[in-house]
Structure 1
Amino acid sequence: MSSPDRAVLSLLTDIFLSFDGAILGVTLAFGAVRAASKYASTSAALNKIRDSPEVSVSDLRSLIPPSDDESSHGSIVVVRGTVEPKVTGDGNHKNNVLTSQETGEKALIIHRTQTYMYSGWKTLFQLSNGHRFLLERSMPKQGADFMRMVPFVIVDKNQRSLRSSFLVVNMDGARQPLPLTTVYNRLQPINSSPYAFLQALFFPEYPVGMLDVEKILPPGRDLTAVGICSFNNGVPEIKSCQDLPYFLSDMTKDKMILELMDNTRVIFWGGVIMGCLSVGILGFAAVRAWNRWKLRNHQREPRQRPDQSMVDDEIEDADEIPDGELCVICVTRRRIPAFIPCGHVVCCRLCALTVERRSNPKCPVCLQSIRGSMRIYYS
């Protein structure tokens, strides 16, 4: 681990453990709440997928009869089939296929990302070791993101003709990850300018390369569509359900259920562990704060109680005090405590307490340093 990583880790540890770990407890409590919310949503998605029927494209009409009501929302179904381009008006689907510019492969969806790789010199000020110039690790930053797609449908695996049953895929509003295949991946270095040295010296970061990645969805691929199926002008259509984590996937329904069950199990126990830890840490911090508050009040009580008891004890016999037993400082109250270690009894309790509270307490008679006082009882 490098020096900056250790410094950041030490700083985060000090922050989380401050206030007796209260910040760490609050963070774990927030994580537990987020885990509970995620567990609820994942469990709901699991139940929806488990209860949804798994049908073929040809059985959709018997399962979901066409309705003239355009406002009907349809029902969630799981359809396994092969993706094919949608047929155009002239019966030809060749024009509805995209071609990759890099590989020349046919595709229904093309997703291309260009990510710039940054690097640079940064100054890390450390009081113990002075100035250090450390090379920053390469940081990927998004440069451009291009997405192209054409209308496509899902047909049965053994069916290649689009004149029979097919299911139109509506990609509007779909946010689930798509099962795309990477066909082009290249890291292109960026040529440095004549001022590269000055750029590296004065700028905290500068681009050193560009990662160009292209992913496609080829026709003829077997996929599973999970979404809301309805009829649009008599044609079956499926669109994504925002409550589900899948829309188009390579997994079958059984694999989706198994994956969601594992996710719910991990999220549940993770939330339970974080909740128990947060309760324990927050309880420990509350007990420590309560003990400190009681200790602070206990330390204040000896300063207040003796003063009151002094006045009560000394007012009772103030009129009958002989001259030889009067305090040498105030000359109004009786001499009661003896200084330690000299043993002189020359002050009343109030004046003795005042002497003890000085930065360098000394006996008023012998000027010897004292460590405290002790009350003397005469029998």
Structure 2
Amino acid sequence: MDALPLTPGELVCLGSSLAFSGLFYYLHRKKAKVVAKIQEAPKLQVSESLPDILSATGSSCLQYVAIEGVVQPTEAALTSPYHNELQGVIERLVLKEHRLIWNSLARSWTDSERVVLEQVHTVPFVLASPAGRSVGQVSVESPLQAVELPLETVYERFQQTSHGFKDLLGHYLSGEKPKGFLETEEMLLVGSSLTGIGELTMQPDGSLRLQPPADGTGYFLHLGDWQALLADMQSVSNFWKWAALLCGFVGTAVILRALFRAYWDYRLRKEQEAQQQEFEKLRCQRSSDLDLSDEPPESACVICLTNLRECVLLPCGHVCCCFRCFQALPSRTCPICRSPIDRVVPLYQA
């Protein structure tokens, strides 16, 4: 039975590369579809003409649009507990514990963090026209369902933990060393320029609402214009594309290596068969002229002492064995001088 063309290691590498390549290509296509949909979406700005635009489409709903405006609260805004002059409509407070963990394999301390507390507060807000709130506004619904919250870090403080001698001794025994706590505050500030990409609907009372698309398409809230969001999405899509190509290249390289090895094995097998046929032909020519007695001839093979010496071992040049014994050698070394054998040629005698 022929051996498998791929070694177990190559099979694992090939399977892993193909699996990762398929996964990365799926992620690339998923991001590429989002990019294409954002490019095709109508680009609007908050203005008093938005109701007329919806009416002109013959529907009270645009399934996917990109709309730009300025963030304004519809009621009392959130005030930062650390900066009284900062007001926002979304606030996230995060408390993280940082530790050093002893890695016995690397023989070093590695950083580790754990979220101890996270709080998110929101108030209803709208996207208003830069010209003023009276010109037009669009209510933003379910902002926490956006793919990524458009928050800015407005406060950050690291409180280092103090340790005594007993604490340090306990840390080395347990393999964990607390570093301290990182406290951060992120907010979507009032007056920020925001781009919302989602479903735009007109309510019976004439108000406009931006909400997550009903078909499950990505709902985006992004600080800045839609071109910046599109560039970020294209960058992510290209990353997954190159990752898929790299994994596919690795799988192709494994297959080519296996094919190259199979080709050389095939050539070596054909050369051995041709060489064996040549030696058999030479043996048949000599058998009619040779009459072996009970005593081995002087030119007999030094291994089997039966057949004639018919191999020239190169590069050492020793003539000491027949072809069958050469094939049975446990290692490709000369039986006389133990030097490596590169190739063997038939011995022709006049």
If the length of structure 2 is used for normalisation, what is the TM-score?
0.68
State the Cα distance separating 1:290 from its structure 2 match: 2.2
Letter in 2 for 1:38: H
| CA distance 1:190–1:73, shift in 2 (3 Å) | farther
CA gap of 1:102–1:299, structure 2 versus 1, over 3 A, is farther
Counterpart of 1:111 (choices 77, 92, 109) is 92
Quick one: which of 51, 59, 67 aligns to 1:61? 51
What does 1:39-188 align with in structure 2 at a 5 Å threshold? 41-42=31-32, 44-65=34-55, 74-86=62-74, 93-94=75-76, 97-104=77-84, 105-124=86-105, 133-134=107-108, 136-160=109-133, 165-171=136-142, 174-188=145-159
CA distance in 2, matches of 1:112, 1:186: 12
Deviation at 1:137, TM superposition (A): 4.2
- Describe the SS at the equivalent of 2:191: coil
- What secondary structure is seen at the aligned counterpart in 1 of 2:48? helix
Structure 1's unaligned 5+ residue stretches are 1-17, 87-92, 126-132, 363-367
Q: What is the root-mean-square deviation of aligned Cα atoms in Å?
A: 5.1
Residue 351 of structure 1 deviates from its aligned partner by 8.0
CA contact (8 A) 2:18 2:248 kept: no
Conserved in 1, the CA contact under 8 Å of 2:67 and 2:195? yes
Alignment equivalent of 1:189, drawn from 147, 160, 168: 160
CA gap 1:326/1:124 in 2 versus in 1, 3 angstroms: closer
Amino acid at match of 1:34: F
- Distance in 2 between residues matched to 1:176 and 1:281, nearest whole Å: 37
- 2:324 and 2:25 map into 1 onto residues whose CA distance is 63
Q: Residue 289 of structure 1 aligns with which residue?
A: 261
Alpha-carbon distance in 2 for matches of 1:115, 1:142: 4
Count of residues in Structure 1 that have an aligned counterpart in Structure 2: 329
CA distance in 2, matches of 1:278, 1:355: 38
User: TM-score w.r.t. structure 1 length?
Assistant: 0.64
- The match for 1:208 is 179
Structure 1 residues 351 and 61: CA distance shift in structure 2, 3 A: closer
Query: For the residues of structure 1 that align with 2:126 and 2:318, how far apart are their CA atoms?
Result: 104
SS where residue 166 of structure 1 aligns? strand
The CA distance in 2 between the partners of 1:267 and 1:260, in whole Å, is: 11
After TM superposition, list the pairs within 5 Å mapping 1:204-283 onto structure 2: 204-234=175-205, 235-241=207-213, 243-244=217-218, 247-257=220-230, 259=231, 263=235, 266-267=238-239, 270=242, 274=246, 277-278=249-250, 281-282=253-254
Q: Deviations over 1:340-368 (max 9, x none)?
A: 999999x8x47865996699946xxxxx9
Q: CA deviation at 1:285?
A: 2.0
Q: Which residue of 2 aligns with 1:8?
A: none
- C-alpha contact 2:153 2:185 (8 A) present in aligned 1: yes
Please state how far the C-alpha of 1:297 moved relative to its aligned partner: 3.7
Distance 2:329 2:267 in 1: 21
Distance 1:202 1:159, change over 3 A: same
- Cα 1:317–1:336 change in 2 (3 A) is farther
Residues of 1 paired with 2:251 and 2:334: CA distance? 47
Deviations 1:168-215 (Å, cap 9, x if unpaired)? 211266232222222210001123366322333223333211111001
1:166: how far off?
3.2
Query: 2:266 is paired with a residue of what secondary structure?
Result: helix
Cα distance in 2 between the residues matched to 1:239 and 1:247: 10
What are the Cα deviations for residues 255-303 of structure 1, in whole angstroms up to 9, with x where unaligned? Answer: 445x268638955984697378547634642344324533664687589
Secondary structure, aligned partner of 1:58: coil
SS at match of 2:150: coil
Aligned partner of 2:4 in structure 1 is: none
Report the 3-state secondary structure (helix = DSSP H, G, I; strand = E; otherwise coil) of the residue aligned with 2:157.
strand
